[in-house]
């Protein structure tokens, strides 16, 4: 009898929690399935595009209704709203893949870029999610880019604005914040953070993250912070650099740590 009462109280507590915080794990799972199927439909020769597009439309309606329960059965953002953007997506992603292939001597073929480069995968999912972000759909864009983050270690917020021919090399540990602006032909390495200088809730509607102008190279583990920080075009930011202020175009910023080498002589029996 006591066990039955305890179970009843536990169920009441669980149900109360679910009423207060309405979370759908199905939305997360189906968004992930939608993301990988979309990537395969666009790039994989073994995925039949016509069949995949039918399944994608069904999945889109399912995740849209889970994310926006208040508009179920009513006209809202449609699958057609997204498919209109696919030709532009192809164009952008081809430029990204070409930038990686042209800049990385380790890339032996463009097919290798599409299949083996986590940077290209993360950029692809970002660009797809960005289209849903522009449609104003809640949660879905974030779930898509977080899925890419989970698989690659590259965290790109769908709100970021990224230009053409974007090259991520290696990529693990990269963070690109919501209000970041990245212009054309930018190259960044692993561990780079394009983040906020202050993390305050009241700043949510302000530009919190930096602007990176065209033809900039940012090397590993550099941190560039602040919404007013602008990295001028044609600049190079060296590894492990910390920047919270703008630099003009054609700049070179290097981190030069002070090294202390201490030598000590040891006696044979010491």
Per-residue model confidence as pLDDT tens digits over 44-77: 999 999 999 999 999 999 998 888 877 665 556 6
Q: How far is CA 93 from the centre of its chain?
A: 14
265: confidence class by pLDDT, cuts 50, 70, 90: low
The mean of the pLDDT values for the chain is 91
The pLDDT value recorded for residue 70 is 73
How far apart are alpha carbons 255 and 137 in whole angstroms? 41
How far apart are alpha carbons 81 and 91 in whole angstroms? 18
Average pLDDT over residues 195-213: 89
Bridge-based pairing of strands 193-195 and 223-225 is parallel
266: confidence class by pLDDT, cuts 50, 70, 90: low
Average pLDDT over residues 135-157: 95
The pLDDT value recorded for residue 6 is 82
% of the chain beyond a pLDDT of 70? 93
How far apart are alpha carbons 172 and 150 in whole angstroms? 11
pTM recorded for the entire structure: 0.89
Average pLDDT over residues 196-225: 93
Q: Are 67 and 137 in contact (CB under 8 A)?
A: yes
Is pLDDT above 90 for 177? yes
Q: Are 160 and 177 in contact (CB under 8 A)?
A: yes
């Amino acid at each position: 009898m006591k066990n039955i009462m305890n179970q009843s109280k536990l169920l009441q507590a669980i149900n109360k929690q679910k009423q207060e915080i309405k979370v759908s794990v199905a939305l997360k799972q189906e968004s992930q399935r939608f993301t990988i199927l979309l990537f395969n439909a666009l790039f994989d020769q073994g995925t039949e595009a016509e069949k995949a597009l039918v399944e994608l439309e069904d999945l889109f309606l399912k995740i849209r209704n889970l994310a926006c329960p208040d508009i179920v059965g009513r006209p809202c953002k449609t699958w057609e709203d997204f498919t209109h953007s696919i030709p532009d997506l192809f164009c952008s992603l081809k430029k990204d893949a070409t930038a990686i292939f042209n800049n990385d001597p380790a890339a032996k073929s463009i097919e290798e870029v599409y299949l083996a480069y986590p940077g290209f995968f993360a950029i692809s999912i970002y660009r797809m999610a960005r289209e849903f972000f522009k449609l104003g759909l809640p949660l879905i864009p974030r779930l898509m880019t977080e899925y890419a983050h989970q698989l690659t270690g590259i965290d790109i917020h769908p709100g970021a604005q990224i230009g053409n021919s974007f090259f991520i090399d290696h990529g693990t540990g990269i963070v690109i914040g919501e209000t970041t602006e990245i212009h054309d032909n930018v190259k960044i390495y692993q561990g780079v953070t394009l983040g906020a200088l202050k993390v305050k809730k009241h700043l949510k509607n302000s530009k919190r993250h930096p602007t990176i102008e065209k033809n900039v190279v940012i090397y590993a583990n550099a941190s560039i912070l602040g919404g007013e920080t602008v990295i001028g075009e044609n600049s190079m930011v060296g590894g492990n650099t910390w920047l919270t202020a703008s630099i003009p175009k054609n700049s070179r910023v290097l981190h030069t740590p002070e090294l202390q080498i201490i030598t000590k002589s040891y006696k044979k029996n010491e």
